Structure 1
Amino acid sequence: MSAPTLVPPAGSPARPSTGRARASASKDPRARGAGRLLLSALAATLTTWAAVVSWRGLTETPGGFLRPLLLLALVVAGTGALARLARLPALVVLLAQTVVGVALASELLIDTPVPLGAGWSELVRAVEAAVATSRQYAAPVPPEAAPLDPLLVGGGLACMLLVDLLANGVRRVPLAGLPLLTVYAVPVSIVDSGLSWWVFALTAAGFLVMLFLQEDEQVARWGRPLDERGRPTEASDTDLRASAALGPRSSTSRVGAASVGAAATALAVLVPLGVPTLDVDVFSLGAGGAGSGDDAVQIVNPMTDLQRDLRRGSDIPLLEVQTDDPDPSYLRIAVLNRFSSEAWSSGDREIPTDNLPDGAVPALQGVAGDVARRSYDYDVSIGEDFQSRWLPTWAPIRAIRAEGDWRYDESTMDFLASADDLDTAGLDYSMTGVELDLSAAQLASAPSAAGAVSAEMVDLPPLPDLVRDLALEVTAEAPTRYAKAVALQNWFRSEFTYDLARADEGNGVSELEAFLRDDEGGRVGYCEQFASAMAVMARELDIPARVAVGFLRPDEIGPDRYQFSAYDLHAWPELFIAGAGWVRFEPTPADRAAAVPDYTRGQLDSEPDQPSAQPSEQSQAPVQPDRPAPSAEPEVPQAQGPDDTDTTATTFPWAPVAGGVGGLLALGALLLLPRLLRSRRRERWLAAGPEGVWQELRATALDLGHPWPEQRSVRTAGAVLLDWYADPAAEPVERPARGAAAAPEAAAATDRLVTALERLRYAPAGSTDSPAASEQVGDDGRVCVAALLAGVTPRQRRAARWWPRSVLTAGRRPSGAQARRAEVRATRTGAATVDEVG
């Protein structure tokens, strides 16, 4: 069966080589391209800046980061437009924008465009100070705190670069919406007031402009607009210049697009107002307020409020407890996990919505099953003067029932309010606590706790050498982690003085160093400093440690009834010991905390029955005379255990490293998967005869961004392929010469393939091709694929290799049987020819 020579498809639009319209439209193309590139880049960066305006609620001085980011938006846009005008690859454009943006941001933040040497040290200090502020203060951050500008400027710049890359680098404006949503997620999760409607509307308008510019560029390639009769319109010079800059379109299409965009934005702003939502603020990350009244005790940020309430100078009854516990002391309010250079804080928490105080709670963390224990019941009544967003509970705890949406963290077992209007004032609830029967010998023989708790429990910021030197010196003779903890506890109780009036406020790094120094004004403090210092020094020795805030010891006001007051507020460290879980220690001297836990005395340690000293007149805390105090020279237990090797050595974080490597491998596999699938599919199709080879050519064309002529016949589609071919042996260039003359071998191979495919589909039944012909078809397919790949830019080839579109599309051409039936119908009716079969 003979086949005619391939020709361009009938009905293809003419390409005039002369004429006023073409001359005007092509006039000064670089200037026209520069204007469009700059407009697109400005739309991306300024839309990101509009979204970043939503961060203004994070600080009371938003101009400190919004003004620099506005300047960065203009500079990044200009840099991107110039680099793209020079036809640089997308990654090179991104690199240029990053270098220019980082230099400008560095100049604005630390007064040097090159953050190297001393500049780098200054930048690191500014970032560390900003991180410490973010952990210490709740939004909005006051002006007197270290500014958040380094974090906000850096984050905003990163978002601008990403949005510009997606919108203008890879031409995927819809994907650019993802980082914009990420920008919105920051204030939504932190700022109580949420987003302003005008910020959202401004960002949405910018996003619509980005979409309009991308689609307008696609439409501009269609040619001149048509009039009502379908004829090309005559345009003036002014119209042609506008068409060249913005693409052809009618005023009706512009109005329609604007109407759709405005309606969508309005709906996005108004519809959420009528949808009922649940506003849950589970975390209290940062310092709380000072309280709303002179007579109320508030606990929002535990450590900060502890300072204020202990120094207020008046004792206030806060809560009463009815219990069968003969010694209901150390009622815990909250746990502080994270230590920054500025303060202890609650850190990040993962609290499921079903962790409610409605009965039994999870089993004790890290406690061996053979540890003896006793349970006590507690009925708690809290007065109106105690307003806490943390629910006081015994630790360890076995069960609890309380009204309200309180949520507990399984790693700490402290309870937080999940609603803004929820606190403890006037609350009555009940719980069952557990007392573990721990002994010094048991704790001393405990195995290593490596990997039993989060690595956050040993994390520390940079500390003065004094802290580690003292930790090693005090525990030099202690063989186990437990013995080291007891040595630290006894050292604080014997070498330091409790005095609330003379103590400095704060528990950051600078306050810690001043507290530990053995000079005038040093080694004097109150419970906050003692708990913080011991926890930090324990972490220096690789012992997991945290700080607990709560009540020390109540007054008995009746049979099995006790009352806690403001003077009973206290802080103490908890250290993790394998088999015993989180174990309480008491480093605060006997003037305040009369006794240490029994399991920290050991068999060799004997303490007098009374405190070693009377409380100073300056101390505002009551004396607890019924608790013994440590001797002047406490002895350290000498029990040995399997943990008696060098406990100061840092354990390599195998789990995080393995998780990171696994994540990178998974990401790499995910990125390689489309390429691998496409490669296997290509080999299978090239070996599947004419139908498979034809499907491979269609898939390759789609991967390269060519519009496949789905509704055309095989021969017509083959003629279209000729326009996309280039010489595979030629030097790769951005604009290769294309056409049948540029790749004669591919043109001949296409003619043979089309003939073989037509013979397969339309030849009489029973006719077959020889195996040699089938092999020739496969070879012809490879020649055509190589010519298609040579006819595009290197960037298009890389995109087709790493992100093949055909893998994600399911459309396929009609089968041979369908084509044969169409041919039969065409022959009988005479209404169509073979070239018109789809």
Structure 2
Amino acid sequence: MAVARTGGHPAAGGHMSRVRPPLPRALLHAVVTALTGWATLLSWRVLTSDSSEVMMPLLFAALLLCAGGAALRWLRVPTVAVIALQVLVAGGLLLANVAGNPFPTDTTLASFGAHWQAALESSRLYAAPVPPHAPPVHPILLVGGLLVVLALDVVAGSLDRVTASGLVLLAAYSMPATLTGDSVSWWVFLAAAAGYLAMVFLQHDDHIDRWGRTLGGIDGDLTAFGVRTGAVRHTAFSLGAVATASALLLPMAVPTLELTLLPGTGPGTREIEVEDPLLDMRRDLQRGEDVPLVYVETRGARPSYLRLSVLTHFADNTWSPGDREIPEEQTAGSELPGLQGVDRALRRTEQQHHVDVSEDFRSTWLPTSEHVTEVQAPPLWRYDISTMDFISSEEDQTTAGLSYDFTAVALDYEQQRLDASMPGTALVRPIFSDVPADLSPQVRELASEVTAQAPTRFQKAVALQQWFREEGGFVYDASAVEEAGDGDDMSAFLEERSGYCEQFAATMAIMARTLGIPARVSVGFLIPRSVGDDRWEFSAWDLHAWPELYFPGSGWMRFEPTPGSRAPQVPSYTQGQLSGPLPSVSPGASGAGQERPTRPTEPPAAPDTGSGTGSSDDSVLPRGMVLGVAAGLLVLLALVLLPRFLRQARRRRRLAGGIEELWLELRSVATDLGHAWPAGRSPRAQGAWLGRVFGRPGEDADRVERPVRGREQAPEAADALDRLVGALERSRYAREPGESDLAALRADVTAVEAALTAGVSRRTLRRATWWPRSLRLDPRGRTVSTAPSRGEAPVQVATAGGVVDRVE
């Protein structure tokens, strides 16, 4: 005899329906999956200096989520329910680790929001690894790690697509290299690769073990040949070892790859980039590590106030360089224009400077002085004639490793010329005098009040400088960096009298504009330290901002409103220029204090993430968290709707097929309604069984909790079922089955389905609609065909539904 079948594909290319493995085997899969995901997440250690605070909770979470998911799947819990429970558990673990309480109370969510906001700020301000004194980025890493674990378990466990889970591992493994530019330690790659290969081996070992089917049991495994041998394991191990070794060793021969067998950091971990001068200054002031950036060699006076960029445009409480249109002929190395607004009779002294920029400093702005007469640098650096700052004309050209020379000019200002200077607004571009119409009246009023006793414009400028440094009660606070750029930060700064250099410079510049004095803000370096004879070093901690004000005849002049704790000296031409004491605008402690070293001995203070009093906005959850919660709810909604959508799509495909597909659809309906399909029986026996669970079709409102069942409850559906069974038997067993009226058969399927759904309660029907069980069983209707050897007994071969095709 030969075993035949009427359709489908051979088993070698077929899809094997998923069966429940023994619980120990399922837990073994889960543990291997959890350890593989955790080993991959070890590549994130480079992102924080205290990685153990993240890695150990993630190890516990990975084991709990993967093992719990395996147990729930073994108990036949619907996939969507498994995922939902895992998300809830992951959320509780996250809150417990970050906020100390796994339950989402108002206090817990507020605490989590504060830690989340602090972590986002640290990720913006600090290069990896984030130093210990900074607010930790643990919340971000925990959220990312939990998402990786959940995605890995869903793909490898719930969907049983272990090979596709490699994409999840690859994304997690690549993330730190993308952020830092460094390669990952070889042992992390080895552990992750070995874990992934173990996952693939376990899955396919199970598949091989389920080939074929044992006879004499409906619940037997439909695919078991029992071919597990030591040879298979040995071959798999050998192939995996060769593949892993090749992945480790071959990149060493390829110059474009950077996988190293030796531990240590690669280039770029100390790198500082400057493209947006103000934004990058805020970040770099909070980096923690004092990175040397620029070296200057010059004879004579110590260089100071090395300028990078000039900010001319003020809008929305933010200063920016504005739009720049620079002609091609305005290049470094060409003849520079005269000093803008400076009388030729004003005495001046030139000083030569040679500059060497560190490889760690990647800036598209060239460090020079505020007044220069010559710059010898590559011609791709161009200058703006109205600001005399130099910017790269190519996006990929930066200062990293650059050496060049420039000639700076020191002017000998005259007090009489300064006091007699005429208004300068008509002599410069309007952008240097523009004041936004929506500027707070408080700024104008304070500027007028502070300078009321100063008789000249220059003395008004000096009065503003002294008010910020001494009389106004301001203090320098580096932690105020995190508040810079907010919509109301200038008003808040004037109220709180605490801030850092950008806020002092920006506020003095706009107050000067309200007095009719053109003003702008410069960003650069403050004061260097000596590193040898006539050689000076500017570092990340020296980044600074200051205002420049314009006076006809004297040009653009630098002022220093930042208190002495940060900037100990003021320009010599602003000392002793006031004719009388300043008015006391508001009480406050003096912010000058004694003169301090120009370079701090400790890193700037990290932002305070405690629960102390603050602005009213502190009690509101951060926008990022709100968006994250909303996105999470949308994902949950999609997960809830997805099973129903997939089930309906499968139903449409089957109704468009032949009798086999229609019979599979009836099987899925019965499975969704909670009935155990009678595997291994003939179509007529299965039809008789289906008839026993028929209910009386009618209005849904008439549905009872325990309906009466039987063929007699739905005579029309019973006739339709008989027609379907007859068509299926002819299709499978008749030598010439003939053509079937598929339209009529589809109508019969609809009638049978109505009778089946009438035989269950509302609760069961809702579960079948939203969480259809048949999706987990994945019946594809493919059958296995095999011919027995001579002398052997006939072999019954089942489809995925356990239905015997034909024995000949």
Q: Report the TM-score when normalising by structure 1.
A: 0.50
Instruction: Specify the alignment match of 1:390 in structure 2.
Output: 363
1:675, 1:804 within 8 Å by CA — same for their partners in 2?
Answer: no
Alpha-carbon distance in structure 2 between the residues aligned to 1:52 and 1:345: 40
Say if 2:40 and 2:189, in contact at 8 Å, map to a contact too: yes
Answer yes or no: is 1:332 the counterpart of 2:309.
Answer: yes
Q: Does 1:275 align with 2:251?
A: no
Q: Deviations over 1:159-209 (max 9, x none)?
A: 212211222222222332232222112211123431122212211222222
Q: Aligned-residue CA RMSD in angstroms?
A: 7.6
2:403 to 403, 407, 426: 426
1:748 counterpart (722, 744, 748): 722
Instruction: Please name the residue that 1:151 is paired with.
Output: 140
CA distance 1:695–1:288, change in 2 (3 Å)? same
Q: 1:36 maps to which residue?
A: 25
Q: Answer whether contact 1:333 1:393 (CA < 8 A) is retained.
A: no
The answer as to 2:523 corresponding to 1:549 is: yes
Q: Among residues 744, 747, 755, which one is paired with 1:779 in the alignment?
A: 747
- The one-letter amino acid paired with 2:747 is D
Counterparts of 1:338-487 in structure 2 under 5 Å? 376-379=330-333, 383-387=354-358, 388-393=361-366, 423-427=400-404, 438-439=429-430, 443=434, 473-474=442-443
| Aligned equivalent of 2:658 | 693
User: What is aligned with 1:262?
Assistant: 241
For residues 326-351 of structure 1, what are the alpha-carbon distances to aligned partners after superposition, in whole Å with 9 as ceiling and x for unaligned? xx9965299999x9xxxx999xxxxx
For the 8 Å contact 1:130–1:151, the answer to whether it is kept is: yes
Cα distance change of structure 1 residues 757 and 251 upon mapping to structure 2, 3 Å threshold: closer
Residues 614-639 of structure 1 deviation map (CA, whole Å, 9 limit, x = unaligned):
99999666738599x99999xxxxxx
Q: Aligned partners of 1:287 and 1:38: how far apart in 2? A: 45
1:571, distance to aligned residue in structure 2 (A): 4.8
Correspondence list, 1:498-513, <5 A: 504=476, 506=478, 508=480
Deviations 1:287-341 (A, max 9, x none): 859xxxxxxxx999754699979999x98559xxxxxxxxx9965299999x9xx
Contact 1:389 1:423 in 2 (8 A): yes
- Cα 1:82–1:415 change in 2 (3 A) is farther
Aligned amino acid, residue 693 of structure 1: G
Distance in 1, matches of 2:36 and 2:444, equals: 58
Number of corresponding residues: 592
**Offset from partner CA, 1:782-833 (integer Å, 9 cap, x none):** 56888999999999986889999999x9x9xxxxxxxxxxxxxxxxxxxxxx
> Could you tell me which amino acid in structure 2 is paired with residue 391 of structure 1?
T
Contact (CA 8 Å) 1:383, 1:427: kept in 2 or not?
yes
SS at match of 1:204: helix
Question: Alignment partner of 1:212: what SS?
Answer: helix
For CA contacts below 8 A with separation 6 or more, give which structure has more relative contact order. Answer: 2
CA apart distance, 1:704 = 9.9
Distance 1:403 1:796 in 2: 73
Task: Pick closer, same or farther for the CA change 1:223–1:86 going to 2, 3 Å.
Answer: same
- CA spacing shift, 1:421–1:378, aligned 2, 3 Å: closer
Check the 8 A contact 1:283/1:416 in 2, yes or no: no
CA offset digits 1:509-568 (Å, max 9, x no partner): 58989997789xx9588744424768999xxxxxxxx98733799xxxxxxxxxx9979x
Match of 1:76 among 65, 80, 103: 65
Q: Distance in 2 between matches of 1:286 and 1:441?
A: 36
| SS in structure 2 of the partner of residue 508 of structure 1 | helix
Deviation, 1:51, is 0.7
User: In 1, are the aligned partners of 2:721 and 2:749 still within 8 Å (CA)?
Assistant: no
Superposed CA offset, 1:101-156 (max 9, x none)? 44344434444333523333333232222222222221222222222222222321
Residue of structure 1 equivalent to 2:177: 188
Q: 1:164 aligns with which of 153, 176, 184?
A: 153
CA contact (8 A) 1:54 1:184 kept: yes
Amino acid of the structure 2 residue aligned with 1:43 = V
Letter aligned with residue 623 of structure 1: P
Q: In structure 2, what residue type is equivalent to 1:426? A: S
Q: Please state if 1:496 is matched with 2:465.
A: no
Contact 2:435/2:510 (8 A) holds in 1: no
Q: Percent identity?
A: 28
Residue 181 of structure 2 corresponds to residue 212 of structure 1: no
> Per-residue deviation at 1:56?
1.1
Contact kept, 8 Å, 1:612 with 1:630, in 2: the verdict is no
Q: In 1, are the aligned partners of 2:131 and 2:288 still within 8 Å (CA)?
A: no
Query: Relative to structure 1, is the Cα distance of residues 420 and 50 closer, same or farther in structure 2, using a 3 angstrom cutoff?
Result: farther
* Contact 1:288 1:305 (C-alpha < 8 Å) held by counterparts: no
Q: CA deviation at 1:438?
A: 3.6
Per-residue deviation, 1:570: 7.2
Aligned to 1:125: 114
User: Is the CA contact (8 Å cut-off) linking 1:80 and 1:93 kept in structure 2?
Assistant: yes
> Is contact 2:509–2:521 with CA below 8 Å preserved after alignment?
yes
Point out the more displaced range, 109-118 or 158-167: 109-118
In structure 2, relative to structure 1, the CA distance for the partners of 1:52 and 1:74 (3 Å cut) is same
CA distance in 1, matches of 2:255, 2:689: 55
- The aligned runs of 1:279-298 (5 Å cut-off) are none
